[in-house]
Structure 1
């Protein structure tokens, strides 16, 4: 019997089926799930298209095609189908990111048409915790950022992004989209920092949040305060907030070469459960 496969752009009527696929891996799919739960599948609200891969009429895999290209629960056949569609539409994203195995194949298929990349981060351990830190005392001075503190937190966010990604988030549109994203996280109570004398010492955000899992991002310590344990005590505080107020599982992914950060996260209680990969343009 021949297996019939097809791909198409999903619409609002496909929401339940898409959420069922996303629910198969709630931790690794936290970013896409959080977007879909807020915006549905309307491309304008979602900020991109959601591609669906069907086998014999059943939705089996997804690919979010917005500012990021993100394969979701995608085996080799689905990845090949998504790569074909991505080649036809042309590159519109600033990165490809997702589970390492699927993302690696997707990039190998797209690189001849889309390459070269500015940077490829081939192995980014995915780490999780379900418990407050047993070994690191949370920093009592880490707190939620208020809406009237945007001018205070923005320079730290820009510094973190530039240091991590290698380009400024203020390029292109002057930072309007990035500032809107930071404001969204502040407004939703998912931006945290330790502030001393009007200066951000440590900061982090809960960038994606679903009822099943959330993902911490943007962890940063001001250079002059590094080496004093702020990343550990600060992360312990953010984890405590996240477990209490957001979701029962807290995750993050980190560059494999950042051995200091990986060690700090392990001391806070995180363990590795998989790996992501990022391709930056």
Structure 2
């Protein structure tokens, strides 16, 4: 049983367990309740299944028997996902496991309704964070872009990785506040970027050996994909290139990867939110991130 019975005077603490291959159908049913918010998790599960160790990190489950109300991927990112109404109880269960193992993640990220109660429970032992972004609108588009796409945006070739890398590092540093090169000399970051390039999920407008615009499609499930790392070279900003470039990414992703394209953005980035709305994105939820 996932929840131990207790007396009314001393109710038991909700508990979670590590999922295995027998839970795969229940995981798919859970993630299908919100395919856009669950895109990252769904993409991993669709690719690897739920056998222990298959997704590269523990996958915790919370529910009754084989029925699931929430799951949490405990990898480099701690990613909780719960159905409405189960967020707090699931957070109690996941926080107990997370505290037991100690902090190994660099970020807690996901739907704000799931992240907020989890972080509240973990903050006393894991805090303070380097940054906390409690309100990040989750936006999605399921039809053609509303602005003309920039035709010079295309998939990056493998031999252009060294052209793309400086732009990707600049974007990461601007967005996250630290350089991705600070750990292992950037080898891990470069390897991940190379993986996206090989998969046809890194797009850019490259002019005279320099990146003008770039974005990656970081997660893909059958139902949705998630865009990340949208960046325009500083000298080209203020010309509408961000919107036109994102429109090109939308058209490519919808034709080649998934019917719905999503992204999340910091609530204070008003210029980016306005650009995405011009492209045709609409707000469909709220994400939250805790960065260490």
User: What TM-score bracket applies, with the shorter chain setting the length?
Assistant: over 0.9
> Displacement, 1:16?
2.2
Q: Does the residue aligned with 2:175 lie in a helix, a strand or coil?
A: helix
Task: Say which of 128, 131, 140 aligns to 2:140.
Answer: 128
Structure 1: distance between partners of 2:27 and 2:284? 24
> Displacement, 1:45?
4.3
What's the C-alpha RMSD, in Å, of the aligned pairs? 1.5
Structure 2: distance between partners of 1:42 and 1:114? 29
Task: Say which of 176, 189, 194 aligns to 1:178.
Answer: 189
Give the TM-score, by structure 2 length.
0.92
2:160 counterpart of 1:149 = yes
2:70 counterpart of 1:61 = yes
Per mean C-alpha deviation after superposition, the further-off stretch among 249-258 and 28-37 is 28-37
1:9-46: per-residue Cα shift (whole Å, max 9, x none)? 11233222222211221100101111122222345442
Check whether the contact 1:3–1:56 (CA below 8 A) recurs between aligned residues.
Answer: no
Q: Does the residue aligned with 1:175 lie in a helix, a strand or coil?
A: helix
The match for 1:162 is 173
Q: Does the residue aligned with 2:16 lie in a helix, a strand or coil?
A: strand
The match for 1:196 is 207
The match for 1:35 is 44
> Displacement, 1:3?
7.8
> Displacement, 1:101?
1.6
2:239 counterpart of 1:228 = yes
Check whether the contact 1:41–1:49 (CA below 8 A) recurs between aligned residues.
Answer: no
Task: Say which of 233, 245, 258 aligns to 2:256.
Answer: 245
Q: 1:198 to 1:57 in 2, by over 3 A?
A: closer
Runs (5+) with no aligned partner, structure 2:
6-13
Give the TM-score, by structure 1 length.
0.95
Per mean C-alpha deviation after superposition, the further-off stretch among 57-66 and 253-262 is 57-66
The match for 1:8 is 17
Per mean C-alpha deviation after superposition, the further-off stretch among 37-46 and 248-257 is 37-46
The match for 1:79 is 91
Q: Does the residue aligned with 2:28 lie in a helix, a strand or coil?
A: helix
